[in-house]
Structure 1
Amino acid sequence: MLFSLAVAVAAGVPTYPRLSAKFYRWQAQRQAAAAIAPLSPTLREGDLIFHTSLSGQSQAIQLATRSPYSHCGLLYKTNGEWQVFEAVQPVKLTPLNRWVARGQGQHFVVKRLHDAATALTPTALVHLKAAGQPMLGHDYDLAFNWSDKQIYCSELIWKVYDRGLHRQLGQLQHLRDFDLSHPAVRAKLRERYGNQLPLSEPVISPASIFNSTKLITVVCR
């Protein structure tokens, strides 16, 4: 069917929007897979990966944190395939090519503990994965609350590393510490909280983890 759809698109024949979207997602995932293949030997389990999400809240996160990176996850290898442990809806493992294809321009950055060679032993990775297992399947946290009932992306990374390896990546902040002045940020806050902003709620942002001095950059594509 994909071949027929490709021919129809190339020929300018009108197609159903749903089928067209499916075709373009498939195409983007193939492109991402081709880009990732030569990088695979560079990656290690436990690496952190960041990109600019195309979600409805991405712009507000970028503005509030003053960073282009609005989404992040953890790299694991399952049956020889790279996957991203991420908090979306729900918390799950996503094939790396699909994850990359979802990002703006398929750009992504991979970071790693600066002492990963000694810190991320096979036993440590078992602990890391065990720390995240209870959160698998949890709903995404649209309100960015600091509980395990629902989880957002950078919260997942922070808690997995904290509980699995006793490493705290990035600086915990409060909602009031972010730049809440932009209209797009204010609109998203009103949508989520109304007039009752939880300004004292502990928050960990993708930007804070990205800028952690405990991490080094191993891939920037």
Structure 2
Amino acid sequence: MKKPKYLFPLITFLLSFGCALFVAMKVFPNNPFSQTKTKQETTLANKIQDGDIIFQTSESKQCEAVRIATNSKFSHCGLIYKINGELFVFEAVQPVKLTPLSDWINHGKDRKFVVKRLKDADKVLNEATLQKMKDYSQRFMGKEYDAYFEWSDTRIYCSELVWKIYKNGANIELSKLKQLKDFNLTDERVKKILKERYGNDIPLEEKVVAPSDLVDSDLLKTIIDTY
């Protein structure tokens, strides 16, 4: 039987297209051809809502000191926002920024995290309130991380950022503020960090809110816990 005239060119084209598609999917993971979400990403997108708070364990020396001083496994937190259908964490690092949720999770110890939500979020966090929170968040975008834990807006740290956004955007105090002296400052690792930060002039009366204060808030309920 005589083979069709265009059979071999067609096969060559299909093989070339297949190879190109494979390369595109491997080299360019965000290529439109590979827009399939992982099972975890799909689950998170279904469970998480605008305004949820996420907590994790970080591994720097300062974060270790935070965990010890607060008697908690949590040393970092952020506020989850849905923007154009994608999930981001608004966090106070250096500088304050929006981080894709998947990247944020990857930065934590063993990729473990906890997501919390206001118990009455369906009533309180309406569209107008969430927009007010996001508008208020803009004032912190790009600001420096506050390694001195001062209660000012000049620089800001993670739990302070979340607390202030809820307070000023939704008129909700997630927890009572403490003073630096209320935490466990006797451990040698904590003392070392305090010495590096403040010398001999430790601001023991400074107002402080820790990730542990937020994660233990009576106003919040657990949505996801991967620990």
Q: Please report the TM-score for the alignment, with normalisation by the length of structure 2.
A: 0.82
What corresponds to 1:220 in structure 2?
A: 225
What corresponds to 2:23 in structure 1?
A: none
What corresponds to 1:188 in structure 2?
A: 193
What corresponds to 2:126 in structure 1?
A: 121
Higher Cα Rg, which structure: 2
Counterpart-to-counterpart distance in 1, 2:38 and 2:142: 25
The one-letter code of the counterpart of 1:152 is Y
Aligned-residue CA RMSD (Å): 1.2
- Alignment equivalent of 1:90, drawn from 95, 100, 113: 95
The one-letter code of the counterpart of 2:181 is R
Counterpart-to-counterpart distance in 1, 2:108 and 2:39: 15
Q: Any stretches of 5+ residues in structure 1 without a counterpart?
A: 1-31
What corresponds to 1:78 in structure 2?
A: 83
- Give the share of equivalent positions with the same residue, in percent: 46
Give 1:137-152 correspondences, 5 Å limit. 137-152=142-157
Deviation at residue 131 of structure 1 after TM alignment: 1.5
Whether the 8 Å CA contact 1:170–1:210 is kept in 2: the answer is no
The one-letter code of the counterpart of 2:90 is F
Deviations 1:43-90 (A, max 9, x none): 000000000012231110000000000000000012221000000000
Give 1:106-185 correspondences, 5 Å limit. 106-185=111-190
Deviation at residue 159 of structure 1 after TM alignment: 0.4
- 2:131 is paired with a residue whose SS is helix
Whether the 8 Å CA contact 1:45–1:77 is kept in 2: the answer is yes
The one-letter code of the counterpart of 2:107 is R
Deviation at residue 130 of structure 1 after TM alignment: 1.2
Whether the 8 Å CA contact 1:171–1:209 is kept in 2: the answer is no
The one-letter code of the counterpart of 1:84 is V
Counterpart-to-counterpart distance in 2, 1:216 and 1:89: 29
Deviation at residue 33 of structure 1 after TM alignment: 6.0
What corresponds to 1:102 in structure 2?
A: 107
Counterpart-to-counterpart distance in 1, 2:182 and 2:70: 9
What corresponds to 1:21 in structure 2?
A: none
- Alignment equivalent of 2:204, drawn from 199, 211, 214: 199
Change (3 A) 1:73 1:33: farther
Change (3 A) 1:155 1:33: farther
- 1:123 is paired with a residue whose SS is helix
Whether the 8 Å CA contact 1:33–1:97 is kept in 2: the answer is no
What corresponds to 2:21 in structure 1?
A: none
Deviation at residue 185 of structure 1 after TM alignment: 0.3
The aligned length equals 190
What corresponds to 1:35 in structure 2?
A: 40
Deviations 1:136-184 (A, max 9, x none): 1100000000000000000000000000011001220000000001110
Q: Any stretches of 5+ residues in structure 2 without a counterpart?
A: 1-36
Counterpart-to-counterpart distance in 1, 2:172 and 2:38: 31
Q: Which moved more, 1:183-192 or 1:32-41?
A: 32-41
Q: Please report the TM-score for the alignment, with normalisation by the length of structure 1.
A: 0.84
